Amino acid sequence: MEFTVHHTCNKEGGEDKVLENYPFLSEYDPKKNMKPFLGQGYYFWDFNLEYAKVWGKNHYSNKYYVCESDIDVDHEKDGFFLDLAGNRKHLVGFIELLREFDFIHKEGTEGIDLCYIIDYLRTKCPPEVFPFEVIRAVDYKNNEKIGIKVVFNNTQNSYTILNPRIIFSFKSKENIVHLTKPSIAFKS
Amino acid sequence: MKAFERAKLALREHLMQNKQKVAADLIAMREKSKGNDVFEYIKNLSGSYVLSDLTTTKEVVYDFSLDDDTDSYNLINELIDHPFYSPPPDLIFDPNSKKDAETSSGSFFC
């Protein structure tokens, strides 16, 4: 499955150095209160240059590059790609997996941030518990007013969002298959 | 998707074998998820406690004197002039008086 992705990073080192080392690892940084959304990993925006710029402005003091490349994610290999953005079967499977924690305590994983849950499944449990190398999820913001919401018709209050922010997280760099040479799509 | 079935079985087995440890880990993660990162905070605090990091507040001198509009009276002087709590005259200590005779306990019931 092919995707065009964007990755925001610091300008440090210049274009050549950045493209050579692209993408960069997102890690926990307690001093800056940085907690990668889906745990430690290599992050991309799913075709979202505009939001990649917003991220750069807010997180890199407006000194950033947005890199772009086409990648291929193996969606047929069982247990490799967890698509929480576009696959209901994956969502249901993931929720059922988390419900296993209810055997320990009735609260289960309630109240625990997703980043900690994913890291826990990856690092504290046997490898077969969470084999997924790639995770895709929608990034919603609480109480967000901006966005393109379109109602389906005038009979109900149902709507869809035409510009969801979708993120990819790769556990390791080796699993990122670039179909095109990465390039700088934007520099601040 | 077979991976989820395998994952559930593996997780269940892991949870059953490590029930107490996992329960403690869940509590710790829940605490961290409150946004305070208590554990990291304490860990970092122990290594960053230098005097230059401390903030101090300026000493503020408060004036507790009463203004003219406040009703007040000089309690100490009043106590000297009018000893409210002085003992009855018959109980005022007289160094020259002799000690009372011993009274037997039985006389109280007469």
Three-state SS for B101?
Answer: coil
Confidence (pLDDT) at B85:
53
Sign of CA dihedral B100, B102, B106, B110: negative
How does the average pLDDT of chain B come out, rounded?
A: 64
Of the candidates B86, B40, B32, B96, the residue with the CA atom closest to the CA atom of residue A111: B32
What are A90-107's pLDDT values in tens digits? Answer: 999 999 999 999 999 888
**Any idea which of A98-102, B18-22, B62-66 has the lowest mean pLDDT?**
B62-66
Looking at per-residue pLDDT, the higher value among A129 and B72 belongs to: A129
Tokens of A105: 């305590």
* Domain locations in chain B as residue ranges: 2-47
Contact A107 B30 (CB under 8 A): yes
What is the number of other CB atoms lying within 10 angstroms of the CB of residue A121? 24
Q: Are A188 and A11 in contact (CB under 8 A)?
A: yes
Confidence (pLDDT) at B105:
47
B38 touches chain A (CB under 8 A): no
Confidence (pLDDT) at B69:
54
**For residue B48, is pLDDT > 50?**
no
Confidence (pLDDT) at B89:
59
Tokens of A125: 């449990």
Tokens of A117: 């849950």
**For residue B110, is pLDDT > 70?**
no
- Res. B41 pLDDT band, cuts 50 70 90: very low
Confidence (pLDDT) at B74:
56
In degrees, rounded to 5, the angle at the alpha carbon of residue B1 between the alpha carbons of residues A137 and A134 is: 35
Cross-strand bridge partners of residue A1 = none
Tokens of A77: 């290999």
Q: What is the ipTM metric for this complex? A: 0.86
Confidence (pLDDT) at A34:
83
What are A60-89's pLDDT values in tens digits? Answer: 888 999 999 999 999 999 999 999 999 999
* Domain locations in chain A as residue ranges: 2-78+134-187
Mean predicted confidence (pLDDT) in A19-46: 91
Most A CBs within 10 Å: which of B2, B17, B33, as the mutation test of the A interface?
B33
Task: Output DSSP code: residue A23.
Answer: S
Confidence (pLDDT) at A14:
93
- Res. B49 pLDDT band, cuts 50 70 90: very low
Mean predicted confidence (pLDDT) in A156-168: 88
Three-state SS for B76?
Answer: helix
Nearest CA-CA distance, residue A173 and chain B, Å: 22
B37 touches chain A (CB under 8 A): yes
Distance in angstroms (rounded) separating the CA atoms of residues B7 and A82? 13
In degrees, rounded to 5, the angle at the alpha carbon of residue A10 between the alpha carbons of residues A5 and A11 is: 105
- Res. B83 pLDDT band, cuts 50 70 90: low
Distance in angstroms (rounded) separating the CA atoms of residues A177 and A25? 16
Contacts of B1 in chain A (CB under 8 A): 78-79, 89-90, 93
Of the candidates A5, A139, A14, A4, the residue with the CA atom closest to the CA atom of residue A64: A14
Question: How many angstroms separate the Cα of A37 from the Cα of each of A44, A55, B15?
Answer: 12, 14, 25
Nearest CA-CA distance, residue B65 and chain A, Å: 48
Helix/strand/coil (H/E/C) assignment for every residue in B23-71: HHHHHHHHHHCCCCCHHHHHHHHHCCCCHHHCCCCCCCCCCCCCCCCCC
- Res. B43 pLDDT band, cuts 50 70 90: very low
Confidence (pLDDT) at A150:
86
Distance in angstroms (rounded) separating the CA atoms of residues B86 and B92? 8
How does the average pLDDT of chain A come out, rounded?
A: 92
Chain B residue at shortest CA distance from A114: B33
Q: Are A109 and A117 in contact (CB under 8 A)?
A: yes
Q: Are A79 and A132 in contact (CB under 8 A)?
A: yes
Confidence (pLDDT) at A7:
97
Q: Are A56 and A62 in contact (CB under 8 A)?
A: yes
Mean predicted confidence (pLDDT) in B47-62: 48
Q: Are A68 and A49 in contact (CB under 8 A)?
A: yes
Angle formed by the axes of helices B2-17 and B19-32, to 10°? 100
Looking at per-residue pLDDT, the higher value among A50 and A141 belongs to: A50
Q: What is the percent of chain A with per-residue pLDDT over 90, rounded to a whole number? A: 77
The b-or-e profile of B45-63 (16+ CB within 10 A means b, else e) is eeeeeeeeeeeeeeeeeee
**Any idea which of A11-15, A28-32, B34-38, B61-65 has the lowest mean pLDDT?**
B34-38
**For residue B58, is pLDDT > 70?**
no
Confidence (pLDDT) at B37:
45
pTM strictly above 0.80: no
Q: Are A133 and A175 in contact (CB under 8 A)?
A: yes
